Structure 1
């Protein structure tokens, strides 16, 4: 229950941010057709038992783009360097604690939100509980049933893609809110919110604050002679030169 509540809290926070940074409601995001329905998920399996790997490969054929590694240390770096949508970790290592790998994946920024499914043996309830407390998303008990594996994997991938979509929406909306679409420069809204901070900092540091205001002379003549597309191009080039020369 604690694990599920933690996941829901994360999603709720992202949904709140998305809905408060956009004029549209969350319904638009919910109604979108997420890629989970038509895109094969990229999944990493970390398991040192060859027979287990072959069985899971057979189960997920045509259902997942599955990478396999037998070494948990190599698996950690592989997970960090590749954009996986789920990592499945076996508990059946001869001389390695799989929960240590789960903890490492949760502590790394790049893999913090990647779903982790633990593949456990009968009698490992205590290890599963510790895994859930560390942040694994789900688990399967051996012998693994193909339909259960497919369903649980699909659920985790769908949740990850939904949360990724929310994060991207929040980031994009914030960026759109403070930048001009044509030039890419900061807009009036950014100035209004940022200028007071600059004044406060200048006052605290007892340093002068300079403001430069620029204007493009005879700009209407450019629009009249070359059309609005020509005028837009001049504005974009002017903005490019500003960015190149002004901090």
Structure 2
């Protein structure tokens, strides 16, 4: 897959691993708040944990992400909010979506720094076909901004524990336009840089036609396989001529 030129060793672009990153605990996706536990931090403890301020504005961010997805992906995907409007404080505010009749999954996750007048969003996807991956990354590059425009390829396959969705800590590099990796099936995971609500809408609008094309192709192949199976069953059921 070709995007732009990159160093021969993509791993050389990665920052040195710190002890904090090595031993950072992983919160479960369905973690429930403990009323007797520690308070949520004010600063970001990691890319998958919300701050207290983000929990406070979780419903607002999820509404913005939901509106953008509904406008451009609405009839192609099933969606659900992640934090239930802030009712689950340890779950990041955002919207998860699954493309119907396909493997493509994604999350639009919200971030809101205290003192900022608006949130930003990150698109995290898994099980993408190459053209969809290329479309998303190219659109983010064209948006420009004070970011390294060259997408970063992270070698190696995702860990088994992150197979169900697009959770992959090594892909969280918001200073890059996008970071991607290829899985064992030849499909892609992509994390974009942090996007404003308007930029998110542009990326989704650009990707929607390609996503729709591959959704239609998958449905065609499924329907064709069902039809071929029915024809084989009918042939086997016909009585043989003496």
Query: What TM-score comes out, normalization by structure 1 length?
Result: 0.34
Structure with more of its chain in helix, by fraction = 1
Query: What TM-score comes out, normalization by structure 2 length?
Result: 0.34
